[in-house]
């Protein structure tokens, strides 16, 4: 995010800018395009043919000149997910800038978390006698607090809870 007053213009020799930009590139535009090429980014606004009213994003107060200085940057890898990117003049947003909106087609994948396995260091219990005694007392105290349980499943669950 930032307001750099960048004008990238139309397609040059770089991958970042497509042929549907608006205006002539300025010095800040050169820097942005160079950064985009270095980081494999594309400028989404320049990828789609739009009428001129859907390209400009800023109008200088008191002047009729319109410029495209706000952009949506997307990783080149996600170029096919970008469906459209255009400005919406007439949006009531109390700014001299026009909002730029992109539509993306995303496929989200549910990643199932595996339960975390707890590894007990049994070798440490065998080698350290004081640790073994403290652990034994700790487990015995946990069982005394439990009292009498009737169901074997409930006993197993309580044992598991006491050990970990």
Q: Which pLDDT belongs to residue 1?
A: 56
16 in any annotated domain: no
Is pLDDT at 19 greater than 80 in this prediction? yes
13 in any annotated domain: no
18 in any annotated domain: no
Q: What domain range includes position 129?
A: 122-163
Residues in the chain: 164
Instruction: Write out the chain in H/E/C secondary structure.
Output: CCCCCCCCCCCCCCCCCCCCCCCCCCHHHHHHHHHHHHCCEEEHHHHCCCCHHHCCCEECCCCCCEECCCCCEEEHHHHHHEEEEEECCCCCCCCCECCEEEEECCCCCCCCCCCCCCCCCHHHHHHCHHHHHHHHHHHHHHHHHHCCCCCHHHHHHHHHHHHC
CA distance 45 to 49: 9
* Res. 2 pLDDT band, cuts 50 70 90: low
Is the pTM above the cut of 0.75?
no
Token reading at 73: 């940057």
Closest to 143 in 3D by CA, of 160, 123, 130, 118: 160
Same-domain pairing of 44 and 96: yes
* Res. 156 pLDDT band, cuts 50 70 90: confident
Same-domain pairing of 127 and 92: no
Give, in order, the Cα–Cα distances in Å from 105 to each of 38, 83, 84, 102, 108.
25, 7, 10, 10, 10
For the residues 133-152, what does the mean pLDDT come to? Answer: 79
Is pLDDT at 148 greater than 80 in this prediction? no
Q: Which pLDDT belongs to residue 80?
A: 92
How many separate domains does the chain show? 2
How do residues 94-119 score in pLDDT, each as one tens digit? 788 889 999 999 888 888 888 888 77
| Cα-Cα-Cα-Cα dihedral sign, residues 68, 71, 10, 88 | negative
Is pLDDT at 133 greater than 80 in this prediction? yes
Same-domain pairing of 62 and 128: no
* Res. 76 pLDDT band, cuts 50 70 90: very high
Q: Which pLDDT belongs to residue 108?
A: 85
């Amino acid at each position: 995010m930032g307001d750099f007053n960048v004008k990238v213009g139309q397609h040059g020799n770089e991958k970042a800018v497509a042929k549907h930009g608006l205006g002539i590139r300025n010095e800040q535009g050169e820097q942005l395009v160079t950064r985009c090429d270095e980081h494999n980014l594309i400028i989404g606004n320049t990828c789609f043919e739009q009428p001129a009213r859907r390209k400009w994003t800023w109008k200088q107060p008191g002047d009729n000149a319109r410029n495209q200085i706000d952009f949506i940057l997307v990783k080149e890898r996600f170029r096919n997910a970008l469906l459209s990117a255009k400005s919406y003049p007439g949006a009531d947003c109390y700014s001299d800038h026009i909002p730029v909106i992109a539509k993306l087609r995303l496929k989200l994948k549910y990643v199932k978390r595996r339960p975390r396995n707890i590894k007990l260091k049994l070798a440490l219990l065998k080698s350290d006698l004081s640790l073994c005694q403290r652990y034994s007392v700790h487990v015995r105290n946990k069982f005394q607090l439990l009292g009498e349980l009737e169901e074997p499943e409930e006993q197993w669950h309580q044992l598991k809870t006491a050990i970990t």
